[in-house]
A and B are shown apart, each in its own frame.
Chain A
Amino acid sequence: MNLTLGIINNIHDWLFGVMPEGMAAIVEMILIALVYLGIFSVVGLFLVLMERRVAAWFQLRIGPNRVGFQGLLQTVADALKLVSKELTGTTKADKFLYNLAPYFVIISSLMALAVFPFTKDFQAFDINIGIFFLIAISSIGVIGILLGGWASNNKFALIGAMRSGVQTISYELSIGLSLLTMVLIAGSLQLSEIVEVQKNGWLIVQGHLPAIIAFMIFMISGTAETNRAPFDMVEAESELGAGFHTEYSGMKFAYFFLAEFINMFIIAAIATTVFFGGWLSPFGLTESIPWLGVFWFLSKTLVLVFLIMWFRWTFPRLRVDQLLTLEWKYLLPINLVNMVVMAFIVWLNLTIQF
């Protein structure tokens, strides 16, 4: 990591040496954006492969294992195939909105990716309202889905989009409140500071009971927010065809698909940062080697991603009314009470510190 940081600094100096200041800043921003796009696509493709392998494992199959070592190149091949496919569309669709929708979804998830501290020095945008920014961004993604469903001029797509809207708006509340519960104990909205606080024990340990409840609520509502099974009413195959992206093909479909997996990664990454100490190693094991932070961050995140996949292949799909009952009658009251309990614990200093 020191080597990479050195290279990054060299590039930075070189850029500002060769070009005028404003130009160099813009070029640097573009370079960073390209790096994040790279991370984005690699993570997305890897997660698709992981999902397929995990699904296969749960169903006692082998899964894709032919292309590359253990099927590692399978999703790359799939992506190439999707790029080369024809982009079809319905004639009576609203072309402008129909083409705009995938970009909404993908840009919102890409923006969310920018604020995560992968390790101490690897963070694109250390904004002082980090968590709040994440919540704000995640509320925009749903607009893409609503647009896509409506502009396709297809009633199944429309129903899927409506369901998605209901689901996302309801569960956003739970996500916000459960994160707010953790902000109470962390005392800051800035993601890097939240990680710093956890040097005396991860927040899920520091906040013991209410933190664990908040974590459970966060995982449930996070799964619902990303429209994954058991909450995938949006694209319930047996009822709606493919839901809001029925009419999409080729790369536009792939955008929706990738964005779903990236959103899953983002939910897991938020949980890692807020509950499990981000890039901190357990018990300060490798504190002397800072570049291992990326390893810890990614491994914690992948464990949580595996948890979400586990949900998917274990639970049957809920009905819409069951979903809304779960949110408004159970999760929301539990969350509010939980927040008060957490406030008391922080107030009376009952947190566990190492």
Chain B
Amino acid sequence: MIVFAIASVTSRKMLRSVIYLLFVLIGIAGIFFLIDYNFLAAIQLTIYAGGIIVLLIFSVLLVHHIEMELEIAKTTKQLLTGSLCLIGLVIFLITIYSYDFKEVKNHLTTSTVDIGTKLLSYGPGGFILPFEVISVLLLAIMIGAIIIAKGSKPSNKNNSSI
């Protein structure tokens, strides 16, 4: 996974790096499967591997020719991003190692029923508020997308040009 992650940022062909990213995401799904979070793993596969990556591939297909290669950034830029990433990594590692994780003893598989009831329960520990907030956000995004799609002429629609 780490190999693919490195390959994904170092590859100079755009679609190849997208595919390396796909391998990383599938690897994460595999880890979820191994720790018995089946639902989360399938979500990972559907949303990230199936949705986001296909979207990325689509945009690459539309704008990118097969012989094009990505430019190498300037040294100053490389140094800047490198140091920023290092700072981020250090902060991340410090938080992880300073937090006292507790080992969970049971190996029960979380069932979909549990997730569903927790998601819609308004008692303590329920997730109804975030759920509703996310739904409102999604609704707003959908309306925005429709307005953007309607704003241009019908001949400029994505579907008809494909």
Name the one of B112, B159, B162 contacting A189, with C-beta atoms under 8 angstroms. Answer: B112
Write out the residue numbers on chain A whose beta carbons fall within 8 Å of the beta carbon of B19.
Answer: 97, 100, 147
Q: Are A162 and B61 in contact (CB under 8 A)?
A: yes
Q: Are A162 and B162 in contact (CB under 8 A)?
A: yes
> Is A150 positioned at the interface, with any CB of B under 8 Å from its CB?
yes
Q: Are A132 and B39 in contact (CB under 8 A)?
A: yes
Q: Is the interface of B mostly helix, strand, loop or mixed?
A: helix
Q: Are B16 and A321 in contact (CB under 8 A)?
A: no
> Is A55 positioned at the interface, with any CB of B under 8 Å from its CB?
no
Write out the residue numbers on chain B whose beta carbons fall within 8 Å of the beta carbon of A128.
Answer: 38, 109, 111-112
Write out the residue numbers on chain A whose beta carbons fall within 8 Å of the beta carbon of B51.
Answer: 139
A100 nearest in chain B by CB position: B19
A187 nearest in chain B by CB position: B113
Q: Are B42 and A143 in contact (CB under 8 A)?
A: no
Write out the residue numbers on chain B whose beta carbons fall within 8 Å of the beta carbon of A169.
Answer: 54
Q: Are B45 and A129 in contact (CB under 8 A)?
A: no
> Is B71 positioned at the interface, with any CB of A under 8 Å from its CB?
no
> Is B24 positioned at the interface, with any CB of A under 8 Å from its CB?
no
Q: Are A320 and B39 in contact (CB under 8 A)?
A: no
> Is A268 positioned at the interface, with any CB of B under 8 Å from its CB?
no
Q: Mark B40-68, 1 if CB is under 8 A from A, else 0.
A: 00110110011101100110110000110
Q: Are A94 and B38 in contact (CB under 8 A)?
A: no
- Are A139 and B15 also in contact (CB < 8 A) when A129-B112, A189-B112 are? no
Q: Are B54 and A166 in contact (CB under 8 A)?
A: no
A153 nearest in chain B by CB position: B66
**A75-97 at interface with B (beta carbon < 8 Å):** 92-94, 96-97
Query: What is the CA–CA distance of A163 and B51 in the complex, to the nearest angstrom?
Result: 16
Name the one of B38, B54, B109 contacting A143, with C-beta atoms under 8 angstroms. Answer: B54
Nearest CB of A to B113, in Å: 8
Query: What is the CA–CA distance of A94 and B75 in the complex, to the nearest angstrom?
Result: 28
Nearest CB of A to B98, in Å: 35
Write out the residue numbers on chain B whose beta carbons fall within 8 Å of the beta carbon of A320.
Answer: 159, 162
> Is B13 positioned at the interface, with any CB of A under 8 Å from its CB?
yes
B160 nearest in chain A by CB position: A321
> Is A140 positioned at the interface, with any CB of B under 8 Å from its CB?
yes
B57 nearest in chain A by CB position: A146
Query: What is the CA–CA distance of A162 and B162 in the complex, to the nearest angstrom?
Result: 7
A168 nearest in chain B by CB position: B54
Q: Are A132 and B111 in contact (CB under 8 A)?
A: no
> Is A151 positioned at the interface, with any CB of B under 8 Å from its CB?
yes
Total count of chain B residues near the partner, CB < 8 A: 28
Q: Are A94 and B162 in contact (CB under 8 A)?
A: no
Q: Are A165 and B38 in contact (CB under 8 A)?
A: no
Q: Are A129 and B38 in contact (CB under 8 A)?
A: yes
Name the one of A129, A133, A163, A165 contacting B54, with C-beta atoms under 8 angstroms. Answer: A165
Total count of chain A residues near the partner, CB < 8 A: 35
> Is A308 positioned at the interface, with any CB of B under 8 Å from its CB?
no
**A2-57 at interface with B (beta carbon < 8 Å):** none
Query: What is the CA–CA distance of A142 and B51 in the complex, to the nearest angstrom?
Result: 11
Q: Are A163 and B162 in contact (CB under 8 A)?
A: yes
> Is A136 positioned at the interface, with any CB of B under 8 Å from its CB?
yes
Query: What is the CA–CA distance of A18 and B71 in the complex, to the nearest angstrom?
Result: 56
**B1-47 at interface with A (beta carbon < 8 Å):** 13, 15-16, 19, 22, 38-39, 42-43, 45-46
Q: Are A94 and B66 in contact (CB under 8 A)?
A: yes
> Is A185 positioned at the interface, with any CB of B under 8 Å from its CB?
no
Q: Mark A316-352, 1 if CB is under 8 A from B, else 0.
A: 0000110010000000000000000000000000000
Name the one of A132, A139, A146 contacting B61, with C-beta atoms under 8 angstroms. Answer: A146
Which of A92, A100, A132, A172 has the most chain B CB atoms inside 10 A of its CB? A132
Q: Mark B79-111, 1 if CB is under 8 A from A, else 0.
A: 000000000000000000000000000000101
Name the one of B13, B15, B42 contacting A147, with C-beta atoms under 8 angstroms. Answer: B15
Q: Mark A85-126, 1 if CB is under 8 A from B, else 0.
A: 000000011101100100000000000000000000000000
Name the one of A92, A136, A150, A163 contacting B50, with C-beta atoms under 8 angstroms. Answer: A136
Query: What is the CA–CA distance of A136 and B40 in the complex, to the nearest angstrom?
Result: 11
- Are A129 and B39 also in contact (CB < 8 A) when A97-B15, A143-B57 are? yes
> Is A137 positioned at the interface, with any CB of B under 8 Å from its CB?
yes
Q: Are B61 and A158 in contact (CB under 8 A)?
A: yes
Query: What is the CA–CA distance of A321 and B53 in the complex, to the nearest angstrom?
Result: 24
Query: What is the CA–CA distance of A100 and B22 in the complex, to the nearest angstrom?
Result: 13
- Interchain residue pairs with CB less than 8 A apart (16): A92-B67, A96-B16, A129-B39, A129-B42, A129-B112, A135-B46, A136-B42, A137-B45, A139-B45, A142-B50, A143-B53, A147-B15, A147-B19, A162-B58, A163-B162, A172-B50
B interface residue numbers (CB < 8 A to A): 13, 15-16, 19, 22, 38-39, 42-43, 45-46, 49-51, 53-54, 57-58, 60-61, 66-67, 109, 111-112, 159-160, 162
Closest 3 CB pairs of A and B: A139-B50, A136-B45, A136-B46
